[in-house]
Chain A
């Protein structure tokens, strides 16, 4: 047999080759598509608060911590929030699942230092029961060893971050620790210097409520507004208020 004949005999039929190429292309495109959709849908996990229902009503307990740097992952130096799940584990997330028409008892362990507010309006506590937060630790130059109600703070010397939910009218400036040896890797231990800030607020109807830190705390980003300030899981999140 001639060289050409041998080559022809070894070659696959054209239709089969085209089919194989088409099938391979479709398989790769499908795989990329499935992976792409999955990738696009990734985000911080929703974490539910611990709910206690009694004859007097619904109470939920949400415990979070705010850290100056998360210390791991792709953005280790970014300022972040963590939330405790019902098993007591710290989860890196800013999506808090809460029951509707319920009283929420929220505790923030504040491990970050002071970042001044741009606008002192956000130094006022609003939307909480009694319009107050209860601070243990530093409030600027003052130190409270027991939980002390505070309704307004000096925006230049007190806040580390804020918990601001525009749709619910909530704004809470978390009082920062003034210590210098801050925790740098989350989750932080209570042995690290910190403040404890507690608030109580009520949820209304079910809904998806955006919250955001108003303090421009994106270190080294333009005006402090980039990076963690724009990224879910760091300085912004949602209150997923579910029908109870």
Chain B
């Protein structure tokens, strides 16, 4: 209880000094830690770090001869990030605690609009910060995609918009930014916002770490973009050695930005796992856990284990590029092949870090819009666990043509095909839920249906690619590019927009405009097919990825894809117009539960109050009990204290959660109060 009070304590009242006006004592907004102080200290930190780097390594012969001091740049980035975190107030609490002082964050917790630009332990604010932050990532990455498609409008000669290395940098930033964004696009906004609400908790387990996980992403964004200023990087998002070792200073930005994002992911996952395991309300048994929470949990297991491998690889790369180690340099005793393995040992679980949250969103929304209980709930959860487990055994299918031991190829072909079985569990559960369901064609459900169609195409083409003969034929072509865009953009991003339309009324209390939502969906859906189906064909015909020139015979297909990409951009503009129109211009109050969902998050007030629930709820029944006789049993008792009548109604189902029913939480007590110190 003490912690919650401390976190959400309102600012102390300001009393006027004796003989003076109270206005003289009002502290202006700017001395409080906020994004502007963060930017100021970040810029200062960069200058300091760069200076230190020059002092340390300015006279190293290698850097002198190449006009590139990678040490100065990397230390500059790191001190800039540290300065930004100091400026935003991330270190106030731990530093104050170290010195035994009253934590300043509790006193200075901002209110109003400014809290969205500050370091705050409120999980709903962090959810909003993630949502806007990831949309900025997505739109920026999308602009780079448009640049790629513009360059590829015409095959060759006098049509070039960019020079070749700029084009490669654009491809690299697009890929890296999108991959960085996709890892957090569901778990960041919706995980942080809704997991506590869905499991009946007042907050995340480690609120300050939650804030830290978000505030690491803006420096990563800026650092990645800054690579353009120092020559860019030629490797794409995969950063293959030895090209990465040869590259100019833009590669340093890639390393640091990706490492910051890896750190953010690790922090998020630890927080998410601790929250889901330890903060579930009484009665929220594992078998009652919403599918979205299952998805967040399994994704978090992957993000706890995979990004550390990436982080280590990037650290090695940084050492190679600065202090002269040769971990990835074959000629000096290292191995570029080591990078390929390290990267894909992260990179393929990463694919499922992107897929699982999409599946989780779709499985969460489907029962709501079909009014049917999720068919095979246990199978679906088992499928997610199976994907989570199997994803560690498939990474070498990315290396089929790299010269790996030929005997290993059938093994990884087999494991890659086997992972389609748990994926199939999740998919078929959804199809069975649709069967005879009373489907409502609302905007969120349209996005969910599109998710399943797109993922089917992406998944089946992925099974093709798992076969060595096919992979050897189309490796490095646009066929592969179209495949993973169907799974990631066609899957995850469609689920992401479905989630936005589904949960925005809960988050804001206002409806999104339905007509604009429909237009957004249909333009995006058609444009998506228009963009990526031609790329399957040009890939099959042999067009390689990452080339800025191509044979004139592929021009029509490429121009069709480019037209589709522009149409996707138009659909995004429609979305932004809808968001601004519905949330600012013509606000229309939403009803409390517009989708008639049984989800626990919909049972509390809209938008959710600061502590989510007045009391920790007592979960009484399954979140997907639609269309059966026990639907009348409420999903939870929000009064928190079980009455004999409720106990009788819920029979034996109330004691299997994380808390025992014979120790009911009192007012204000419960899992949300147990977190203790970070």
**CB closest chain-A residue, reference B67:** A75
Contact yes or no, B68 A227, CB < 8 A: yes
Which of A77, A222, A232 touches B163 (beta carbons < 8 Å)? A232
Chain B residues with CB below 8 A from A207, complex form: 156-157
Which of A37, A78, A206 touches B67 (beta carbons < 8 Å)? A78
Interface presence of A219 (CB below 8 A): yes
Within 8 A of B (CB), among A72-105: 74-78
Interface presence of A11 (CB below 8 A): no
Contact yes or no, B23 A227, CB < 8 A: no
Chain A residues with CB below 8 A from B162, complex form: 40-41, 43
Task: List the one stretch of B6-14, B239-247, B370-378 in contact with chain A.
Answer: B239-247
Within 8 A of B (CB), among A20-48: 33, 36-37, 39-41, 43-44
Contact yes or no, A226 B231, CB < 8 A: no
Interface presence of A220 (CB below 8 A): yes
Chain A residues with CB below 8 A from B23, complex form: 3
Contact yes or no, B166 A219, CB < 8 A: no
Q: For A3, A18, A39, A40, which residue has the most chain B Cβ atoms within 10 angstroms?
A: A40
Contact yes or no, A206 B228, CB < 8 A: no
Which of A40, A208, A225 touches B166 (beta carbons < 8 Å)? A40
Chain A residues with CB below 8 A from B170, complex form: 40
Interface presence of A139 (CB below 8 A): no
Min CB distance, B338 to chain A, in Å? Answer: 15
Contact yes or no, A225 B61, CB < 8 A: no
Contact yes or no, A77 B67, CB < 8 A: yes
Chain A residues with CB below 8 A from B242, complex form: 222-223
CA distance A51 to B22 in the complex (A): 81
Contact yes or no, B164 A232, CB < 8 A: yes
Contact yes or no, B248 A230, CB < 8 A: yes
**CB closest chain-A residue, reference B61:** A220
Contact yes or no, B584 A76, CB < 8 A: no
Chain A residues with CB below 8 A from B62, complex form: 220
Interface presence of B66 (CB below 8 A): yes
Interface presence of A231 (CB below 8 A): yes
CA distance A3 to B246 in the complex (A): 65
Chain A residues with CB below 8 A from B64, complex form: 77
Contact yes or no, B67 A76, CB < 8 A: yes
Chain A residues with CB below 8 A from B436, complex form: none
**CB closest chain-A residue, reference B156:** A208
Using A77-B67, A222-B242 as known contacts, say yes or no to A230 and B161 having CB atoms under 8 A apart.
no
Using A18-B584, A220-B65 as known contacts, say yes or no to A232 and B331 having CB atoms under 8 A apart.
no
Chain A residues with CB below 8 A from B87, complex form: none
Interface presence of A221 (CB below 8 A): yes
Chain B residues with CB below 8 A from A219, complex form: 65-66
Chain A residues with CB below 8 A from B61, complex form: 220
Chain A residues with CB below 8 A from B467, complex form: none
Interface presence of B165 (CB below 8 A): yes
CA distance A76 to B66 in the complex (A): 9
Chain B residues with CB below 8 A from A232, complex form: 163-165
CA distance A229 to B157 in the complex (A): 22
Contact yes or no, B165 A226, CB < 8 A: no
Chain B residues with CB below 8 A from A229, complex form: 246
CA distance A219 to B65 in the complex (A): 7
Min CB distance, A173 to chain B, in Å? Answer: 22
Min CB distance, B221 to chain A, in Å? Answer: 13
Chain B residues with CB below 8 A from A176, complex form: none
**CB closest chain-B residue, reference A224:** B246
Chain B residues with CB below 8 A from A231, complex form: 165, 231, 248
Chain A residues with CB below 8 A from B398, complex form: none
Min CB distance, A69 to chain B, in Å? Answer: 10
Using A3-B23, A18-B584, A40-B170 as known contacts, say yes or no to A222 and B246 having CB atoms under 8 A apart.
yes
Which of B66, B157, B247, B248 touches A77 (beta carbons < 8 Å)? B66
Chain A residues with CB below 8 A from B165, complex form: 230-232
Within 8 A of A (CB), among B66-89: 66-68
Interface presence of A240 (CB below 8 A): yes
Interface presence of B569 (CB below 8 A): no
Chain A residues with CB below 8 A from B245, complex form: 222, 226
Which of A18, A39, A40, A227 touches B248 (beta carbons < 8 Å)? A227
Min CB distance, B310 to chain A, in Å? Answer: 22
Min CB distance, B248 to chain A, in Å? Answer: 6
Interface presence of B147 (CB below 8 A): yes
Interface string of A200-244 (1 = CB under 8 A from B): 000000111010000000111111011101111000000010100
Contact yes or no, A41 B161, CB < 8 A: yes
CA distance A185 to B234 in the complex (A): 28
Which of A76, A78, A206, A226 touches B246 (beta carbons < 8 Å)? A226
Chain B residues with CB below 8 A from A240, complex form: 158
Chain B residues with CB below 8 A from A37, complex form: 147
CA distance A208 to B160 in the complex (A): 10
**CB closest chain-A residue, reference B157:** A208
**CB closest chain-A residue, reference B68:** A227
Interface presence of B549 (CB below 8 A): yes
Chain B residues with CB below 8 A from A40, complex form: 147, 162, 166, 170, 228
Contact yes or no, B246 A223, CB < 8 A: yes
**CB closest chain-B residue, reference A7:** B23
Chain B residues with CB below 8 A from A221, complex form: 66, 246
Interface presence of B568 (CB below 8 A): no
Within 8 A of A (CB), among B505-557: 549
Chain A residues with CB below 8 A from B248, complex form: 226-227, 230-231
Using A77-B66, A231-B231 as known contacts, say yes or no to A222 and B549 having CB atoms under 8 A apart.
no
**CB closest chain-A residue, reference B321:** A222
Chain B residues with CB below 8 A from A33, complex form: 143
CA distance A75 to B165 in the complex (A): 16
Contact yes or no, B247 A208, CB < 8 A: no
Chain B residues with CB below 8 A from A77, complex form: 64-67
Contact yes or no, A223 B166, CB < 8 A: no
Chain B residues with CB below 8 A from A226, complex form: 66, 245-248
Interface presence of B654 (CB below 8 A): no
CA distance A208 to B552 in the complex (A): 13
Min CB distance, B244 to chain A, in Å? Answer: 10
**CB closest chain-A residue, reference B160:** A208
Chain A residues with CB below 8 A from B160, complex form: 208
Contact yes or no, A220 B157, CB < 8 A: no
**CB closest chain-A residue, reference B328:** A222
CA distance A229 to B247 in the complex (A): 10
Known: A74-B67, A219-B65, A226-B245. 18 other contacts (CB 8 A): A37-B147, A41-B161, A43-B162, A43-B166, A75-B67, A208-B158, A220-B65, A221-B246, A222-B329, A223-B242, A226-B66, A226-B247, A227-B246, A229-B246, A230-B246, A230-B247, A240-B158, A242-B158
Q: List 11 A-B contacts (CB under 8 A).
A: A3-B23, A40-B162, A206-B157, A208-B158, A218-B246, A222-B245, A225-B246, A226-B248, A227-B68, A230-B234, A231-B165
Top 3 A-B pairs ranked by shortest CB distance? A226-B246, A220-B65, A43-B163
B residues with a Cβ closer than 8 A to A are 22-23, 61-62, 64-68, 143, 147, 156-158, 160-166, 170, 228, 231, 234, 242, 245-248, 329, 331, 549, 584
